[in-house]
Each structure stands twice: as structure tokens, then as C-alpha cells.
Amino acid sequence: MPRLTIVIASTRPGRAGLAMGEWFAARARAHGAFSVAVVDLARLDLPLLDEPRHPRLRQYTHGHTKEWSATAGASDAFVFVTPEYNTGYPATLKNAIDYLHHEWLYKPVGFVSYGGVAAGTRAVQQLKQVVTTLRMYPIVDTVAVPFFQQFIDDEGRVQANDVMEQAAVAMLDELARVEAVTRALRVEIAQPA
């Protein structure tokens, strides 16, 4: 089974991102196309990029980079769970992306975004520009949650509506399709002729 890694981008105390990430992880497990892992950037706790060499060279010097590289490298697909900060995506996610290079290549990525009226979509638009530089395949079907507070209950859990549930399935279906057809590209770079 291909491995899907869900990355929770926000790290603030009291963040909504954890609830959003946990909700989506449960949906991804129920979907059944992937084995699912969750990386919470608050727990990963990467410092601001502190590697001396470009990640293309893979000459990582720090344990935290090697650990992140192993996790991302073992993944076949990603979902980034992101808020919108000042109409962009959080610096924590950019930092985590910039640490690596080969680990992202030719892998599909979906987005769960949340915010006010724009539902985090401006953050996703920015992310698409960055992930395509890394030859990732952004999935068109997204889960975009407007006025997200209405979907978080008193216990801090997401109570999704039908639109969110259907969007999650559509995204996971498409992620599985794109993961399958891009596998050959990843095998090619792993075993160059």
C-alpha cells in the first residue's frame, strides 16, 4: 500500500491545525487507499534551516534533517494541512519543505486548508507555486474549510459537514490515481539507467 504522510503545518499553542489534521487522518485511514502517517510540525520541531549545503546534495549534517528526510523519503504522497496567515501559508511549512529536495520529487500533494471567508485558498495557491518547483503534483481537488470555527466542537474535535466529507473523498481518490501513475517516475530516479 502506498504511504500517505499528512503534514500539520501550524505550530501555535491552541492551533486549529491539530484538530483539522486528526480529522483528515481519520478520513484517509477510512478511505483505504493508503497507509497513513501524520507529521505534526510542532512535534518535529525543525529549527530554521540550518544545513550548510543545498538539499540536492543530500549531505545532511543534522539528526533532525536525517529524520525528516527518512520520513518524507518513505512517503509516496502528501497532504499538507494548512491555515492561512496573512494570505499566505505558514513559515513553518516553507521551512520544512526547504530542508529537502529529492524526497519530494514526482510525488502528489493534496491540501486541506482552513480560514475565514477565503478558506485558506490563498495559502494553497502560494503553495502550488513552491511544490511544482520540486516536481510535485498538486491535486486540483482540495478540502477548503471557510469559517472553520463552526466545525470545531467544545472538545476541540472537527465535526465536518457533507461538503467537507465529500471533498476529502474526492481528494483522496485523485491522490491515489496520481500516485499510481507517477510511481514509474519515482522508480526511474531511484534507479537511474
CB of 62 to ligand FMN, least distance (A): 26
Closer residue to ligand FMN, CB minimum distance, 87 or 161: 87
* Binding range to ligand FMN, per CB under 6 A, among 11-19, 28-36, 71-79, 95-103: 11-19
When CB distances to ligand FMN are compared, the closest residue is 115
The angle formed by the CA atoms of residues 149, 169 and 103, to the nearest 5 degrees, is 90
Q: Which of residues 86-125 bind ligand FMN (CB under 6 A)?
A: 86-87, 115-116, 118
The torsion angles phi and psi of 8, rounded to 5 degrees, stand at: -90, 115
Determine if 55 is a binding residue for ligand FMN (CB under 6 A): no
* Terminal C-alpha separation, the chain: 26
Closer residue to ligand FMN, CB minimum distance, 59 or 161: 161
CB proximity list for 49: less than 8 A, separation 6 or greater? 95, 98, 99
Instruction: Tell me if 138 sits within 8 A of 111, measured CB to CB.
Output: yes
* Binding range to ligand FMN, per CB under 6 A, among 14-22, 30-38, 64-72, 177-185: 14-22
CA 64, 88, 131, 28 dihedral sign is positive
The residues of the shown chain that bind ligand FMN, judged by CB under 6 A, are 10, 12, 15-17, 83-87, 115-116, 118
